[in-house]
Structure 1
């Protein structure tokens, strides 16, 4: 049995019994019921994920996947393609946005090359898992083969399982890949039956004129490749990206091992859509960090049924929102673990 199939078979629904018990305790904490809002929801969800009343986060990591895109040649990005490799190296050095924010959160960052055009310096610390040198131009044919899409998913599973074996029990997903908002919009256009124009945003500061072109490129790619919306792997292969597939693999692995996975913005949400399509129970293991300012992000979050709890006008990607959210999640667990209950002080619930 393949790694992908074994992982999918291991995924179970959240522990509803533990969530019920956890909710009862959270409601009985020394505060008005519901007064700590999202913190209460997070505490109950993580109890359901882990099966523990007082889960503790021992080690946190953001897993960042890097890949390039053949559709770049269609003029869908304002930034040069070389920026992918540059940002991968800046991230591993701790000098990118996610690097700085993860340091503050006490989280480690791992970078994995699944599909960059350039070669990686073996001494850089970047994990070398290159599947191919960039996807093909999806306006001219499938972005990758079906087998490569599966390999992208399995690479994400493998990297996540390596982290889990090393004691990381909360993971965030991140990416670097110039023009990867294009395949992300394409994925949602297919899965959500929506015109790409409603999803296509500025990415790395694309002009209005080029956004119109970007939407048309996606329409053309979908019309040519005819991805099957009932087969998430086919969608990933025809209009997706290698780093998008790898992040979806991390989400599958997290669910299979009962580890919470914090997703970032628009591109991570596209990965989540693929993962949930492969096994709907994955949804319960995902924590959606922030409402990205990217145009299609609100649609994407609604499509997967996620409720981002931060709204900060961010659209950087890289896993930056996940790194910030780690702090909020640990506050939720501290609330549950450290607060007294009404019973502790001899009172009833208020």
Structure 2
């Protein structure tokens, strides 16, 4: 997708950040992944004193034509009902955002319902749900372009308002089916490896879901190396909009927080179009959806939390945010050996006193 210039991070600057970390009052590497995140965030911002400003969680909502095939334990109208729950502040992501002082925006990317124009959401509906990809491509090329562009515009607006860290979540009945199909085609893994139980399918429903996706993949026989063509064929408007937003965030040197399976599949499409985006992302947790761990392995990524969550809606981004903030705070506020008047291991023969 044209229009997104994403730069590789500076390895020389990363070394400067690591030197600062190594002079903190601790043994080398003692803060583990916090140190890795501190290097990453500081290098994204090109600052030895990075800051997290005006953090936002974006929840993209959209419906899927494939829901007509009975691949979810919930009816399609739950998508619109959950949007209203977000607006009322009653969802898990609302609770965690309030707890951690995060701003939340809900985006109607393609919900199969009409919302009042004065409802406090971002009205960006491409259409009332995608087409049923069992029989035809989920969206047209024009619709895909519109979704990518709208996601880009949303992030540009946040950036202008001073935001430099954005988390991505979603809501959409049957979107695990969409994500599983995308993952299977792009990573060339069997669909049964990618498919999870989504909203809580029983064994019979789970097998039905697998069979539906097998038929859909056979119908399209898509072997394209173009990740956007895969997204157009099997994706959702919310997934496409997230993808555009992620690409724009990286182009603007913002920190990207990725939620679970669906958000990671949106990121996968962006990653296949420009691998440098990987350097701008923190994966917040490993979902209980079985395909997520394999997807993270494919992108050579490690998540920072392992809580058995599989909710979506950006919940893990909000839960993980204090950990990300801790990485920035220790880099900025923890004393160096010289500042604390503590002997460094370089000053003595052994570090056993530490």
TM, length-normalised to structure 1? 0.96
**1:313 match:** 308
**2:2 match:** 5
**2:105 match:** 110
| 8 Å contact kept, 2:56–2:104 | yes
Give a deviation string over 1:230-288, Cα, whole Å, max 9, x none. Answer: 10110000011111111111210111000001000000110110011111111100110
Write the distance in 1 (CA, Å) between the matches of 2:88 and 2:222: 38
Give a deviation string over 1:142-166, Cα, whole Å, max 9, x none. Answer: 1111222222221111111111111
Do residues 163 (structure 1) and 154 (structure 2) align?
A: no
**Alpha-carbon shift at residue 121 of structure 1 (Å):** 1.4
Do residues 196 (structure 1) and 205 (structure 2) align?
A: no
Matches within 5 A, 1:108-147: 108-147=103-142
Write the distance in 2 (CA, Å) between the matches of 1:110 and 1:304: 27
| 8 Å contact kept, 2:25–2:342 | no
Do residues 254 (structure 1) and 246 (structure 2) align?
A: no
TM, length-normalised to structure 2? 0.95
Write the distance in 2 (CA, Å) between the matches of 1:226 and 1:342: 61
**Alpha-carbon shift at residue 15 of structure 1 (Å):** 2.4
Matches within 5 A, 1:71-86: 71-86=66-81
| 8 Å contact kept, 2:166–2:255 | yes
Write the distance in 2 (CA, Å) between the matches of 1:227 and 1:144: 15
Write the distance in 2 (CA, Å) between the matches of 1:151 and 1:303: 28
Helix, strand or coil: the match of 1:262?
A: strand
Do residues 297 (structure 1) and 292 (structure 2) align?
A: yes
**2:207 match:** 212
Write the distance in 2 (CA, Å) between the matches of 1:144 and 1:207: 29
**1:347 match:** 343
Do residues 42 (structure 1) and 43 (structure 2) align?
A: no
For structure 2, the residue ranges without an aligned partner over 5 or more in a row are 346-350
Matches within 5 A, 1:28-107: 28-107=23-102
State the Cα RMSD in Å.
1.2
Q: Please say which structure displays the higher CA radius of gyration.
A: 2
**Alpha-carbon shift at residue 346 of structure 1 (Å):** 5.2
| 8 Å contact kept, 1:200–1:295 | yes
Runs of 4+ in 1 over 6 A off after TM superposition: none
Helix, strand or coil: the match of 2:2?
A: helix
